[in-house]
């Protein structure tokens, strides 16, 4: 199975709050898990990525948590800002540089 399931489809968070987006995968051969941010009319931009040998990776306000046994990973956006309002996609692949399987996306709105 190549599917990656993402939830929620949409999310509204107050400024300063924590945004949490979850993804689950089925293919245990996946070993690279990136998150992308997409603004309207633009292409996806890589935010942060993790490999299954670590359980957490943090870059600024963005943190990925990874649970290999549950085959789940999540994105946490701390101190969410209106400028974070965008669509977020999780993805997975077998090795970096190979085809990415994307989740369905989460439309985040951060209210001022």
- State in angstroms the smallest separation of the CB of 105 from another protein: 5
40 binds another protein (CB under 8 A): no
Neighbours of 71 (CB within 10 A): 17
Mark the segment that binds another protein (CB under 8 A) among 11-19, 59-67, 70-78, 95-103. 95-103
29 binds another protein (CB under 8 A): no
The residue ranges of DSSP E strands in the chain, in sequence order, are: 4-7, 10-14, 19-25, 33-38, 45-50, 56-59, 62-67, 72-77, 86-92, 101-102, 106-111
- State in angstroms the smallest separation of the CB of 3 from another protein: 10
Tell me which DSSP letter residue 39 carries: -
**Cis amide prior to 8 (ω within 30 degrees):** yes
Mark the segment that binds another protein (CB under 8 A) among 11-19, 33-41, 55-63, 64-72. 33-41
Using CB under 8 A as the criterion, which residues of the chain lie in contact with another protein when the complex forms? 4, 6, 32, 34, 36, 41-46, 49, 89, 93, 95-105
């Amino acid at each position: 199975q190549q599917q990656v399931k993402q939830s929620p489809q949409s999310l509204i968070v107050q400024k300063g709050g924590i945004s949490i987006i979850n993804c689950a995968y089925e293919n245990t051969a996946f070993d690279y898990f990136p998150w992308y941010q997409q603004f309207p009319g633009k292409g996806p931009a890589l935010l942060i990525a993790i490999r299954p040998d670590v359980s957490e990776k943090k870059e600024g306000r963005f943190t990925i948590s990874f649970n290999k046994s549950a085959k789940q990973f999540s994105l946490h956006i701390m101190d969410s800002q209106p400028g974070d309002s965008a669509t977020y996609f999780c993805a997975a692949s077998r090795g970096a540089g190979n085809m990415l399987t994307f989740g369905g996306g989460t439309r985040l709105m951060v209210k001022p």
